[in-house]
Amino acid sequence: MKNSVQLIGHVGQEPEIKNLEGGKKLANISIATNEVYYKENGDKVEQTQWHRVTAWGKTADIIERFVTKGKEIAIEGKLTHRSYDDKDGNKRFITEVLANEILLISK
């Protein structure tokens, strides 16, 4: 099966943009998605999930130019996992969506 993720949510912070060697651009954002359901007794339950999103190149350019905190966006990409050692030598794990398409949603 193909590794594919599609999310629609609101941006939780201003994008973090990095310009790297060779003219490459990297953008990091977080997106909140919300689910609502009702318990058997009728109580409404809202759940928010936060997703780390990384984008490169032209997709990062679009994020830099048009995406701001609170903006509703749709992204399509793939789920990735990676690890690194922090400054104390502890192994840390990150799960993120590597975005290859973005759609700005205006209301």
Q: Give domain status of residue 93, yes or no.
A: no
Position 1 scores a pLDDT of 66
The answer to whether position 88 is within a domain reads no
* The model's pTM: 0.84
Beta strands in the chain (DSSP E): 5-11, 16-19, 25-38, 44-56, 72-85, 91-105
Residue 26 sits in which domain range?
1-77
Whether 101 is in a domain gets the answer no
Tell me the pLDDT tens digit for each residue of 20-51: 998 899 999 999 999 999 999 999 999 999 99
Give me the pLDDT at residue 23, please: 87
Domain count within the chain: 1
Q: What is the CATH number of the domain that holds 41?
A: 2.40.50.140
> Residue 50 phi/psi, 5° resolution?
-105, 135
Model pLDDT for residues 53-84, shown as the tens digit of each residue? 999 999 999 999 999 999 999 999 999 999 99
Nearest to 70 by CA among 7, 12, 17, 16: 12
